[in-house]
C-alpha cells in the first residue's frame, strides 16, 4: 500500500509568522500519526522560513518513538549558514529513514523542478553515497518524462519522487494526459530498479486518480493541500480522509 507522509512545513510557517511556539509542530506531527499517517516529512531550507534545525531533531525523536518513517527533503548543494548546518549535517544528526534530494534555490517558494542528472550527477554521487552510509534511503526529485532515470540509479539513488505539480494543474483543467505520462515515467524508473514516490500539489480531489493511473507508488508526501484542507475539517479528520483514499486505491 502507498504510504502517506505528511509534510509539516506549513505548520512551521504559520508558527514563524507570529513567533513563539504555536502552532506546535511536534503536536501536529503526533496528531497526524495518531490519525493514520505512515510518516512525517520536513523540508528545512537555509533561510529557516518554516522548518528549523531544532524542529528536525524533535520530529526525528518522535518518529523513532513511534516506529514510523521520517523523510527529510532538501537541496544537497545548499551551503551551511547560521541556523542551517546543511543537509548532510542534519541527516547525520537525525538519521532519517529517507532523504529526498531536491534542486531548489533560496528564491523558490516551493520545489518546482527535478534534477538534470547529466549536469548534476557527478556532484550528487558522493553526497548520495554519504547519505546511504548513514543508513538513509535516498530519493531524488525528478520531472515526469525525465529520460535519464538509469543515470539516477547509477548514481546510487534508490527511489525517485515524481514532481506532480503539472499533473495537479492539468487535473484541475480536466486534462488526463499528465497522469498517463506520470505512469510511463514510473514504469521507466521501476524498470531500472528505482522505487517511486510522488509529491507536490496532490490533494483529496486528484490523489485517487493519480494512484489509479500510476503503478506501485511507494509513498506520497503531502503538505500544502492537506494543511489547507485541515483548516476547514480539522487535522485528524483530514489525515483520515487521505488514508481513506489511499486505502481504497490499494483495494483496487
The three grid cell numbers given for residue 100, joined into one nine-digit string: 529526498
Angle in degrees, CA 37, 88, 93, rounded to 5: 65
To the question of pTM greater than 0.75 for the whole model, the response is yes
Closest by CA to 11, choosing from 238, 250, 246, is 238
Write down how long the chain is. 252
Grid look-up 507570529 returns 18
Question: How confident is the model over 206-231, as pLDDT tens digits?
Answer: 999 999 999 999 999 999 999 999 99
pLDDT < 70 regions, the chain: 105-112
Annotated catalytic sites, by residue? 43, 73, 200
Give pLDDT tens digits for 109-132. Answer: 566 678 999 999 999 999 999 999
Report cis status (omega within 30 of 0) of the bond before 28: no
Distance in angstroms (rounded) separating the CA atoms of residues 199 and 225: 11
CA–CA distance, 44 with 50 (Å, rounded to integer): 7
Which residue is it, cell 507536490? Answer: 200
Amino acid at each position: 500500500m502507498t504510504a502517506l507522509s505528511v509534510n509539516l512545513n506549513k505548520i512551521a510557517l504559520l508558527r514563524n509568522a507570529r513567533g513563539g511556539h504555536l502552532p506546535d509542530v511536534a503536536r501536529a506531527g503526533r496528531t497526524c500519526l495518531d490519525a493514520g499517517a505512515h510518516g512525517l516529512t520536513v523540508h528545512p531550507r537555509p533561510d529557516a522560513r518554516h522548518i528549523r534545525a531544532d524542529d528536525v531533531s524533535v520530529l526525528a525523536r518522535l518518529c523513532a518513538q513511534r516506529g514510523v518513517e521520517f523523510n527529510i527533503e532538501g537541496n544537497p548543494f545548499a551551503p551551511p549558514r547560521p541556523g542551517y548546518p546543511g543537509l548532510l549535517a542534519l541527516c547525520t544528526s537525525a538519521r532519517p529513514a529517507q532523504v529526498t534530494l531536491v534542486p531548489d534555490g533560496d528564491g523558490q517558494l516551493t520545489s518546482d523542478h527535478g534534477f538534470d542528472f547529466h549536469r548534476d550527477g557527478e556532484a550528487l554521487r558522493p553526497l548520495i553515497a554519504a547519505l546511504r552510509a548513514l543508513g538513509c534511503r535516498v530519493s531524488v526529485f525528478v520531472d515526469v518524462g525525465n529520460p535519464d532515470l538509469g543515470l539516477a540509479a547509477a548514481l546510487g539513488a534508490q527511489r525517485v519522487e515524481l514532481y506532480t505539480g503539472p499533473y495537479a494543474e492539468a487535473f484541475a483543467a480536466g486534462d488526463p494526459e499528465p497522469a498517463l505520462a506520470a505512469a510511463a515515467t514510473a514504469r521507466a524508473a521501476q524498470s531500472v530498479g528505482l522505487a517511486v514516490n510522488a509529491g507536490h500539489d496532490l490533494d483529496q480531489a486528484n490523489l485517487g486518480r493519480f494512484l489509479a493511473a500510476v503503478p506501485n507508488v511507494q509513498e506520497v508526501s503531502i503538505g500544502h493541500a492537506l494543511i489547507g484542507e485541515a483548516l476547514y475539517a480539522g487535522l485528524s479528520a483530514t489525515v483520515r480522509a487521505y488514508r481513506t483514499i489511499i486505502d481504497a486505491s490499494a483495494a483496487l
